[in-house]
Chains A and B, each alone.
Chain A
Amino acid sequence: MGFALWLVLFYRPQTCFAASPEEQFVKLFVSKAEIDRSSPWQLEEVSQQASLGVVVAGGKILTTALTIANGTLIEMQVFGANQRHEVEVEFADFEVNLALLRPKDPTVALKGLLPVVLGEDLEIDDQVEIFRPRDLYQLTKMSGSFQEVGIYTAVTSYYGLVAYLFKVQQTGLGWAEPIMKKGQLVALASGQDTQFVHGIPSDVIKHFLSDHPGGAYRGFPSIGLQLAPLIDPNLRKLLKADNVGNGIRISKVFPSSPFVGRVDQNDVLLEIDGFPISEHGYFQHPKWGKVYLKHLVTRKFAGDSMRLKIQRAGQPLEVEAVLNRFISNDFPVVGYRTKQQEPHLIFGGLLFQELSQDFLKQWGKNWRSYAPTDLVYAIENQNEPEKIPGRRIIFLSKVLPDQFNRGYEKLKYHIVESINDRPVTSIQGVRDALRFPTFSNGQQFARIKLILEGGEIILSYNKLQTAHQRIARTYAVTSKDSFFDPQEATRPVTEPNK
């Protein structure tokens, strides 16, 4: 009923009369308290960001997922109005950086607003209008021209999908500004690289919106293959692919791929769903020309099937599989954290965390150069989706100096191999491993083995509770859950002094 009512309220054919941008877009105010990645029991200073939302059918507001990530209070304001209204996140897909918001009181909040109409795929050189707020009353319109499409990783995930590139004169764009053509939404700005604004195309937005109603969101899929250009004639001969002029090499089949057992490393991928694939991995798009094959995947829904034509050792093969949903957080290094959480555990002042991109981004834009080499290497080289997701890379991020951990104060950024001889692949795994102390000379110890040259840390369980209380006071760690509870150890911790 609700859906139908909103259709009545908001639907107004474009042909009747055009709505003004101020009637279709709202200003969003998002208060954020990001987690402090280096002291994950506390939050960063509160900040507030302003952004734009687009009114879409159903009484919802569309914006980027980045806009609302870690938001503590999200409010909207209609241009020209004085009142702010609280909105909630109805649904967000961080893989594609899109979010749908719902005003708490839509009848008041959206009064007088009109939903945008989603446009069709652009053609190269199309002229567009980009809107951003001038003040609380009106929008500024800028012009841009559509130059090309590319495959880019969404800023909130590892997922690569097609993005429009618009040439503009202005800077400071890329914060969910609506991009319109002839009164229709053709893209939502998601970033800016010098003079090019990146936009999430209407095609992706339609995919997101059409998937959402009904509750069971299927999501965007992946084929789970790593591909490498096959331009080297020597390699082509070696793979017996010199009899065909196209096709890209499958350089790795991830264990999570639906094509495991159907395709192998060094197979040559010739076609996807009938589209011939070039040696660089492009197919011919009717409007945009050469587009990377990933676009053929992202247009599908998880659960759809896909047909591949491959060539193995000179022999053609056709294979088909049902695509899985791509989930960045199935990777060992978490792609994004959507809520104020950073899994961690403190044992005797040693702070263990799960390695994430967010943690390394503390080193700034060039974190790949300046963050600790071993951690960056782990992200770049040991971060592939696994058959059974959930494995994380655990590292000792720092030591909160205390008499209990003296001698170890300088340890930081070491990846942990095992604790008490148990491999650890999650913070829960750290907690579990710590429940089984190592016994030596009649006492309980934690043996924490670090990879590479790190060596082995030995800490006692004796007086651990007292140490935790002291550390909690000294470093203002207010969350009890941040600490390993010595009561969880398999035997009662003896406190000889008591």
Chain B
Amino acid sequence: MGYAKRFWSGWVFWGLLGMLSLIFLGETRSEGSGLNLARKSVFKINVNTSIPSFTEPWRRQPDGGGSGTGFYIGQNRILTNAHVVAHGSYITVLRDGDSRPVPSVVTFIAHDCDLAILEPRDPEFFRDVREMEFGSVPRLQSPVVTVGFPTGGEQLSITQGVVSRISFRRYVHDGVSDHLLIQVDSAINPGNSGGPVLQGGVVVGVAFQAYTQAENTGYIIPTPVIQRFLKDIEDGVYDGHPVDGITIMENAMENAANAAFLGLNKGDGGVKISHVARWAPSFGILQPGDVLLEIDQQPIGVDGKVTFQGERVSFRVPYDLKQVGGAVEFRINRDGVFKKVVVSLTKRPRFPEQGFVFARHPKYFVYGGLVFTQLNRSFLKNWGEKWYSEAPLNLRFITFNWPFLRDTENAQDILVLAKLLPDQINTYSRSNVDGIVLSVDKKPVRSIEDLVELLEKGESEFAVIDFLGSDDPTVISRSEVKLRGPLINKKYGVVPDRWLFGPEIDGTRDTSSSEMGPNNKITKDTISKDTIHPSQPQGGKDGI
């Protein structure tokens, strides 16, 4: 509910009829026909949600629900936002002017780019409905029309705005992914999510999030991201955006000393790498100190930008829009030597999920009443919206820095002792609650599977669990856990006692979701105290 409350400040509602007049006055005939098409091809989506608890992951939070918008893209498919249908337990779609909601299922969901495909169970649902076509990236200052079912009424709403910015920045749904997006000056309100944004009768984006600290600042997912998603799922599996794991020192090459040090010319441009994560496809190919000069023959400026469809955007955009399995060519300078390198965009190896979790359960393991789970945004939200200042220091530090620390750079999961289920065998283990697990019996824990194996298969009587920054281990008796573990689980309703799988999503066949993880590291700078929220489904859903 918190999102929804904040969202209301300053939003403007334009009535349907008045808006139509404005549009018809200002737009071409084809826009008008496009809007007529939109009336038939845009649907209201109602969602019931069931979200897991992130401190007691076997439990569910109280049921919730909300609504959003979707539109027909052919082949019995409705395109919408992932955040509209995430954690959906029962989903229906409704045509404008119709009274009969039709149950639907999510067939693909991409939490990294906040898109999803929904298919109504009734094959007759799309009778007389024409698929909407996609256009290209709209020009700056050009008008666009947002169509959807925002809160405040039942009927289709249409609002007009102007494209004000094209950039590469945070998609707040999973909290950690950056992609190309377009800023528009029309208000995007709860319920608008997943609705088409039109120009000249074709779709140029999907409305998805808004900046709540400024008036009329909405964001839409542009067609290159949508088309990348649709291409990605053609083989029936969503692989996700390729991860890069490259940290750069922004603007460093603006300083002439950098160029002179490497023997570059002033006009060579480029960005300097400060870190390459061990899980990055480019690990072993690129290295800190390298200067990225070109990506796929496009020069990279000292501001890290390339020209993309006439606009200056981050060099990560052409990388990010590739499919897994593709390749990127960089021209680099290393220690004064120019060279070209090719990075194969392999499917991402497993590394700790930092973003929000949309799985049936987050990974967890309960051992003798000790509840271990993943450290990620969903867990950190236990400390509220300001987790970046309110959460325990160790958790904040590791969230920002795990790829750079020897103890965690190879980790597959960052595990935290989330809580104790009180019992006589764990009475004295409380001091390490909220601690990051480093080792069991001095053997490093790099994944939840490691943790389970080391705890369950260790042969000594006592399991000694060490935590980051603590000289005070948790010691638990294995024989006592064998005796009382099942009783503790029964007493607290822990079923099952572990969930070791990656994200299992919402009854769909997609296997990705937040497993795809971040394209870029979370940095302190990206944690803005201002608030950008996904355009909340009407009614609001906590935790998204």
> Would you list which residues of chain B between 294 and 333 have a CB under 8 Å from chain A?
302
Shortest C-beta distance, B87 to chain A (Å), equals: 30
A374, B260: Cβ atoms closer than 8 Å = no
**0/1 string, A453-494, CB within 8 A of B gives 1:** 111111110000000000000000000000000000000000
- Stretch of A67-75, A184-192, A364-372, A390-398 lying at the B interface: A364-372
Shortest C-beta distance, A468 to chain B (Å), equals: 15
Q: A296 contacts the other chain (Cβ, under 8 Å)?
A: no
Least CB separation from A234: chain B residue: B475
**0/1 string, B391-404, CB within 8 A of A gives 1:** 00110110011011
Q: A231 contacts the other chain (Cβ, under 8 Å)?
A: yes
- Stretch of B30-38, B122-130, B251-259, B505-513 lying at the A interface: B251-259
Q: In the complex, which of the residues A238, A368, A373, A455 contacts B524, with contact meaning CB atoms closer than 8 Å?
A: A373
Instruction: Chain A residues near B473: list those with CB within 8 A.
Output: 235
A238 to B524, CA, bound (A): 41
Instruction: Chain B residues near A228: list those with CB within 8 A.
Output: 471-472
Q: A441 contacts the other chain (Cβ, under 8 Å)?
A: yes
- Stretch of A136-144, A195-203, A307-315, A404-412 lying at the B interface: A404-412
A237 to B478, CA, bound (A): 13
Q: B2 contacts the other chain (Cβ, under 8 Å)?
A: no
A407, B255: Cβ atoms closer than 8 Å = yes
Residues of B in contact (CB 8 Å), total 50
Q: A497 contacts the other chain (Cβ, under 8 Å)?
A: no
Q: B249 contacts the other chain (Cβ, under 8 Å)?
A: yes
B258, A407: Cβ atoms closer than 8 Å = yes
**0/1 string, A217-237, CB within 8 A of B gives 1:** 000000000101001111101
A460, B393: Cβ atoms closer than 8 Å = no
Q: A377 contacts the other chain (Cβ, under 8 Å)?
A: yes
Least CB separation from A438: chain B residue: B261
B428, A233: Cβ atoms closer than 8 Å = yes
Instruction: Chain B residues near A454: list those with CB within 8 A.
Output: 249, 274
Instruction: Chain B residues near A233: list those with CB within 8 A.
Output: 428
Least CB separation from A456: chain B residue: B289
Q: B496 contacts the other chain (Cβ, under 8 Å)?
A: no
B261, A445: Cβ atoms closer than 8 Å = yes
Q: B523 contacts the other chain (Cβ, under 8 Å)?
A: yes
B252, A234: Cβ atoms closer than 8 Å = no
Instruction: Chain B residues near A372: list those with CB within 8 A.
Output: 524
Instruction: Chain B residues near A377: list those with CB within 8 A.
Output: 393-394, 397
Shortest C-beta distance, A450 to chain B (Å), equals: 8
Shortest C-beta distance, A138 to chain B (Å), equals: 46
Given contacts A251-B472, A376-B393, A443-B260, contact A457 B428 (CB under 8 A): no
Q: B263 contacts the other chain (Cβ, under 8 Å)?
A: yes
Interface centre among B252, B262, B388 (most CB of A within 10 A): B252
A251 to B470, CA, bound (A): 9
A233 to B262, CA, bound (A): 61
Instruction: Chain B residues near A234: list those with CB within 8 A.
Output: 428, 462, 475-477
**0/1 string, B515-538, CB within 8 A of A gives 1:** 000000101100000000000000
A451 to B400, CA, bound (A): 13
Q: B4 contacts the other chain (Cβ, under 8 Å)?
A: no
A376 to B262, CA, bound (A): 35
Instruction: Chain A residues near B256: list those with CB within 8 A.
Output: 460
Shortest C-beta distance, B258 to chain A (Å), equals: 5
Q: A380 contacts the other chain (Cβ, under 8 Å)?
A: yes
- Please classify the interface of chain B as helix (H, G, I), strand (E, B), loop, or mixed, using the class held by over half of its residues: mixed
Q: A207 contacts the other chain (Cβ, under 8 Å)?
A: no
Instruction: Chain B residues near A460: list those with CB within 8 A.
Output: 256-257, 260-261
> Would you list which residues of chain B between 39 and 76 have a CB under 8 Å from chain A?
none
Least CB separation from A457: chain B residue: B252
A478 to B461, CA, bound (A): 66
Instruction: Chain B residues near A252: list those with CB within 8 A.
Output: 471
Instruction: Chain B residues near A450: list those with CB within 8 A.
Output: 274
Given contacts A234-B428, A374-B401, contact A453 B477 (CB under 8 A): no
Instruction: Chain A residues near B393: list those with CB within 8 A.
Output: 368, 373, 376-377, 380
> Would you list which residues of chain A between 327 and 375 have a CB under 8 Å from chain B?
368-370, 372-374
Shortest C-beta distance, B270 to chain A (Å), equals: 12
In this complex, the interface size class of chain A, counting residues with CB under 8 Å from chain B, is 35 or more
Shortest C-beta distance, A407 to chain B (Å), equals: 3
Q: A15 contacts the other chain (Cβ, under 8 Å)?
A: no
A405, B389: Cβ atoms closer than 8 Å = no
A260 to B388, CA, bound (A): 39
**0/1 string, B246-283, CB within 8 A of A gives 1:** 01111111111110111100000000111100000000
Q: B233 contacts the other chain (Cβ, under 8 Å)?
A: no
Q: A452 contacts the other chain (Cβ, under 8 Å)?
A: yes
Instruction: Chain B residues near A410: list those with CB within 8 A.
Output: 250-251
B251, A407: Cβ atoms closer than 8 Å = yes
A251 to B473, CA, bound (A): 10
Given contacts A373-B400, A455-B274, A455-B275, contact A441 B254 (CB under 8 A): no
Instruction: Chain A residues near B396: list those with CB within 8 A.
Output: 373
B255, A453: Cβ atoms closer than 8 Å = no
Given contacts A407-B254, A453-B404, contact A232 B475 (CB under 8 A): yes
B263, A235: Cβ atoms closer than 8 Å = no
A235, B475: Cβ atoms closer than 8 Å = yes
Q: B153 contacts the other chain (Cβ, under 8 Å)?
A: no
A407, B397: Cβ atoms closer than 8 Å = no
Given contacts A369-B389, A455-B288, contact A238 B462 (CB under 8 A): yes
Q: A440 contacts the other chain (Cβ, under 8 Å)?
A: yes
A374, B397: Cβ atoms closer than 8 Å = yes
**0/1 string, A293-304, CB within 8 A of B gives 1:** 000000000000
Q: B336 contacts the other chain (Cβ, under 8 Å)?
A: yes
> Would you list which residues of chain B between 443 and 467 have a CB under 8 Å from chain A?
462, 464
Interface centre among A374, A381, A458 (most CB of B within 10 A): A458
Shortest C-beta distance, A133 to chain B (Å), equals: 39
Instruction: Chain B residues near A226: list those with CB within 8 A.
Output: 471
> Would you list which residues of chain B between 217 and 266 have a CB under 8 Å from chain A?
247-258, 260-263
> Would you list which residues of chain A between 397 and 436 have a CB under 8 Å from chain B?
405-410
A231, B524: Cβ atoms closer than 8 Å = no
Instruction: Chain B residues near A405: list those with CB within 8 A.
Output: 255
Shortest C-beta distance, B337 to chain A (Å), equals: 13
A251, B471: Cβ atoms closer than 8 Å = yes
Least CB separation from A451: chain B residue: B404
Instruction: Chain A residues near B274: list those with CB within 8 A.
Output: 450, 453-456
Interface centre among B258, B336, B523, B524 (most CB of A within 10 A): B258
Least CB separation from B477: chain A residue: A234
Q: B155 contacts the other chain (Cβ, under 8 Å)?
A: no
Shortest C-beta distance, A235 to chain B (Å), equals: 4
Instruction: Chain A residues near B251: list those with CB within 8 A.
Output: 407-410
**0/1 string, B468-502, CB within 8 A of A gives 1:** 01011101110000000000000000000000000
* 25 A–B pairs (Cβ distance < 8 Å), ordered by A: A226-B471, A231-B428, A232-B428, A232-B475, A234-B428, A235-B475, A238-B462, A238-B464, A251-B471, A372-B524, A373-B388, A373-B524, A374-B397, A380-B393, A407-B253, A407-B258, A408-B255, A409-B251, A441-B262, A443-B260, A453-B404, A454-B274, A456-B272, A459-B257, A460-B260
Extra inter-chain contacts (8) besides given A380-B393, A441-B260, A453-B401, CB under 8 Å: A233-B428, A235-B473, A251-B471, A381-B469, A452-B404, A452-B405, A455-B288, A460-B257
Which 10 pairs, one residue from A and one from B, show the smallest C-beta to C-beta distance?
A: A455-B274, A407-B254, A232-B428, A407-B255, A455-B249, A460-B257, A251-B471, A234-B475, A377-B397, A407-B251
